[in-house]
Amino acid sequence: MRTAGLALAALALAAWGLLGDVFRDAEGALAASACVPLALAAAAALLARAVARGWAAAGTWLALGLVGQALQLQLYHQGTGVGYPHLWPLGFSGLRAVAWAGLGLQTMLVAPAAARRAGPALRALAGRFGPWRLALLAAVLFLAGTKLFRPAPAYALELVLVFALHALQLATLLLGATALPDGVVDRWRALAARVLGPEGDDEVAPARLDRFAWTLAAWAFAAAAFLGWAAYQHHPHVPDEVAYLLHANYLADGRLFLPPPPVPAGFDVDLMFLHDGRWYSPVPIGWPAVLAVGAWLGVPWLVNPALGAASVLLAYLFLSEVAPRRTARGVALLLAFTPWATFLNMSLMTHSLTLASALLAALGVARAGRPGGTGRAGWAWLGGVGLGVVGLIRPLEGLIVAGMLGLWGLGLGGRRLRLPAFAGLVLAAAAVGALGLAYNAALTGSPTKFPIMDYVDEVYGPGKNSLGFGPDKGLAWGGLDPFPGHGLRDLLANTNFNVFLLDFDLFGWSTGSLGLLLVTLVLTRLRSLCVLERWMLATITAVVGLHALYWFSGGPDFGARYWYLLLVPCLVLTVSGLRRLGDALFPGEAGARSRARLLAAVAVLCGWSLCTYFPWRALDRYRHYRGMRPEVRALAREHDFGRSLVLVRGERHPDYASAAAYNPVDLEADAPVYAWDRDAATRRALLEHYGDRDVWVLAGPSVTGRGFELVDGPRAAAELLAQPGEAR
C-alpha cells in the first residue's frame, strides 16, 4: 500500500508541476519554480522504489537530498540576463521562503545523524591525507563557492551560506549511501563491474565502439537536441551566435563575403564588419564552415548535438588507448551527463567543435604511437587534421593543443612517434592551417592578420583585444570586465570567475562539482600521480596559463567556456579522485563494498543533477536568454510576410539581432528582409530603397516587455514615406 501511495503521489506531483498555473510565467510557459514539484515527484518515485526493494531508510535520505537540491537551486538569483548565479539578495518571501524553510527542516533531520559520524570520518581523512592538506581542500572548496563581488560583507556571507549548503547536501548523500543494505550494494557493485569493467584491472586495452559507447553518444545527442528545441528554441541567443549563423548562411551559399547592405545603418549587427566594400563576419572560419553544413541542410541547430555525441565516442576511444577500461568508461559516462557539455552542445557556440577536433587530434596521436610499432602513420595524419581544425576555430586553443600533442609526439609524457608519423601530424596540421591563412589573406590582404583583429582595432581601438598586460587592454564591458586594463587583479578575478563556474556547472552537483577533482590535485602528492594524471594536470596548466594573458574571462555564457578544453582533463581527474579516495579510505578486498558505496554516491549525485539542475538551468537561464526570442519565425509564417521589408523597433541587441538571424543571404531576394528601425533617417533610407515592397513593423522585446509583436502592416512604403513623422 505504501508503494502504491507513493507512486500515485509521484504522478500527482508531476502533473501539478507540469500543469499547475502557479508554476507558469506571465506568458503561460513553464517556470523554473516547477522544478520543485517535479523534484518532489522524482523523490516520491525513488522512495516508492526503495520501499518496494527493502532499502527505505537509504531511500528516505536520498529522496531528501534530491528535494534539498531542488530547493537549494531556488535560492539562486540567475535569470536570463548577463550575470552570474548568486544567492544574494537572500529574500524570505514566496518560494524562496519555502526553500529556506525546507532546507532548515533538512538540516534538523540531517545534522544529528551526521554529527555522530562526522568525527570518525574527519579523523580518518586527516589521518590518511594529513590535516593541512585537508584544510587546504576545504579552503579551495570554500573560495570556489561563489564569484567575487561587492560589497565585501555580502560576498563573505554568500561564501559561508554556499559552503554550508554544500556540506548539508554532502552529509545527506553520505547518510543515504551508508544506509544502503549490503545486498543492494553488492548488486550495484556487480552492475558497475559489468558496465565499467572489473575493479582493479589496470590493463590498458584499446577499445572499439560498442553498445555502451553508442548508447552514451545517442543520449548526449538526444539531450542536447531536446534542450536546443525546448529551451533554446533553435534560435541564437548570444551575439556571437547570430554572427556565426549569418556567416554559415553565406558560406553555404558559396560566398566568402557579401556586398555592402543597401542601408548599412539598418543592418547593423554585432560581429558583422563592413570594410573595403565588403560585408562579412570577422570571426575565424573554422566553426562557421562546419555550421554551414547544417545551414545547407536546414538544421544548423543539430550540428552541435551531433558534435557532442562525437566527442563522447572520441573521448572513449582516446582514453582507452592511454587509460584502463574503467577510467575510459567512467569519463565517457560523465561526459555524456555533464550539464556543462550538454548546454554548450545545445547552443550555436564554437566550443563543441573545438573539443571534438582536439579529441580527434589526441586519438590520432595516441593510435599512431601504439607500442611495438603497431601504430600507423595514417592516424597521425588524421590527428593533424583535427589539430589544424582547432586552429581554424580558436587559434589560441590551437596553439595549446599543438604544444601539448607536439610534446607528446616527441616522447614527453606519451609514446614517442616515429619520424613519418610525426611528420604526418605536422604536415596535416599545416595543410589545414594554411586554409585559415588563405582566408585571412582574402579578407585582410595578409595571411597573418586575422579579420577579427581588424574588426576590434577599428571598432574599439588598436590593441584592445590582443594578448598581454597593460592599461590599454579590454573593451570596458562593465561587470564582465571588472577592472580597466589587464593586470594581476584582473588575472585573479578572471580565475575566480571561471573556477566558480566550474564548481557550479561542471556536474551541477548540490555538493559542488570540484571535490573529487581536488582530491587528485590537493590531497595527492605530485610524485604519486600517474603519467595520464600528470598529462591532464599539464593540460589544465597550459589552458589556464595561456588564457591568463587575455583580458576577458569568457563571461557567464555557458559556464567557463574559455576553459572548455579543460573538460576531459577535469573528468579524468574526477574519476581518478574517486578511485584514490576509495583506495585510501577503504583499501583491499575488505573495503570493496565501501568503495562501491562511494561509486553509488557519485551516481546518485548525477541522478540528482539530471532531475533538478538540468530542468532548472534550462528554464531559469536559457529560455529567452539575453532577451533573444524567436517569435519572428512564427509571425512570418502566420502573416505570410513574403517579399517584404520588415522594420524592427527596439535595440540592436536583442531586438534586431533576433530578427536579423532570419535574413536571406541576398538582401534583395524575394523573401522578408529584416531591417533595424534605428532612427528617422535610417527608416527613410530603407523605405526609399525598398519602395516596391510591402512593409511590416515589429516591436521587439525591449519595447513590448514581452515577445515580438506586429504593430503595423502590411503598408506600402510610399504610404509610410508620405506620413508626417514617419520615423515612428
What are the pLDDT digits (tens) for 255-296?
Answer: 999 999 999 999 999 999 999 899 999 999 999 999 999 999
Segment 305-326 mean pLDDT: 96
Q: What pLDDT is attached to residue 90? A: 63
Task: Quickly state the pLDDT bin for 727 (edges 50, 70, 90).
Answer: very low
pLDDT tens-digit series, residues 483-514: 888 999 989 999 999 999 999 999 999 999 99
Q: What pLDDT is attached to residue 113? A: 93
- Sort residue 508 into left (φ over 0), alpha (ψ -120 to 50) or beta: left
Record the cell numbers describing residue 641, joined without a space: 510576410
User: Has residue 725 got a pLDDT over 60?
Assistant: no
User: Has residue 102 got a pLDDT over 50?
Assistant: yes
User: Has residue 155 got a pLDDT over 80?
Assistant: yes
Q: Do residues 145 and 510 lie in contact, with contact meaning Cβ atoms separated by under 8 Å?
A: no
Q: What pLDDT is attached to residue 590? A: 87
User: Has residue 479 got a pLDDT over 80?
Assistant: no
* C-alpha–C-alpha distance, residues 323 and 697, integer Å: 60
pLDDT tens-digit series, residues 386-429: 999 999 999 999 999 999 999 998 888 777 889 999 999 999 99
* Centroid of chain to Cα 255: 31
* C-alpha–C-alpha distance, residues 287 and 271, integer Å: 14
Instruction: Specify the DSSP element, H or E, that contains 61.
Output: helix 56-74
What is each CA distance from 567 to 320, 398, 540, in whole angstroms?
Answer: 17, 16, 9
Task: Quickly state the pLDDT bin for 710 (edges 50, 70, 90).
Answer: very high
Higher pLDDT: 383 or 200? It is: 383
Helix (H, G, I), strand (E, B) or coil at 428: helix
- Over pLDDT 70: what percentage of the chain? 98
Instruction: Specify the DSSP element, H or E, that contains 73.
Output: helix 56-74
Q: What pLDDT is attached to residue 93? A: 64
Segment 60-86 mean pLDDT: 92
* C-alpha–C-alpha distance, residues 260 and 274, integer Å: 7
Segment 620-639 mean pLDDT: 94
pLDDT tens-digit series, residues 201-247: 888 888 899 999 999 999 999 999 999 999 999 999 999 999 999 99
Taking CB atoms within 8 Å and a gap of at least 24, the contacts of 500-504 are 500/84, 500/144, 500/145, 500/146, 500/147, 501/84, 501/147, 501/556, 501/559, 501/560, 502/144, 502/559, 502/560, 502/563, 502/566, 502/570, 503/141, 503/144, 503/145, 504/85, 504/559
What phi and psi, each to the nearest 5 degrees, are found at residue 641?
Answer: -55, -35
pLDDT tens-digit series, residues 693-706: 999 999 999 999 99
Strand pairing of 644-649 and 278-280? unpaired
* C-alpha–C-alpha distance, residues 106 and 70, integer Å: 12
**What residue segments make up the domains of the chain, in order of their start?**
2-132+145-179, 226-235+302-584, 627-722
Q: What is the pTM of this model?
A: 0.95
- Cβ atoms within 10 Å, residue 463: 13
Which range is least confidently modeled, 128-142, 168-182, 382-396, 565-579?
A: 128-142
- End-to-end, the C-alpha distance of the chain in Å comes to 67
Q: What pLDDT is attached to residue 118? A: 83
Average pLDDT, the chain: 92
Q: Nearest CA to 554 among 295, 354, 317?
A: 354
Q: What pLDDT is attached to residue 205? A: 84
- Over pLDDT 90: what percentage of the chain? 75
* C-alpha–C-alpha distance, residues 92 and 79, integer Å: 18
Task: Quickly state the pLDDT bin for 318 (edges 50, 70, 90).
Answer: very high
Q: Do residues 604 and 629 lie in contact, with contact meaning Cβ atoms separated by under 8 Å?
A: no
Which range is least confidently modeled, 522-526, 621-625, 708-712?
A: 522-526
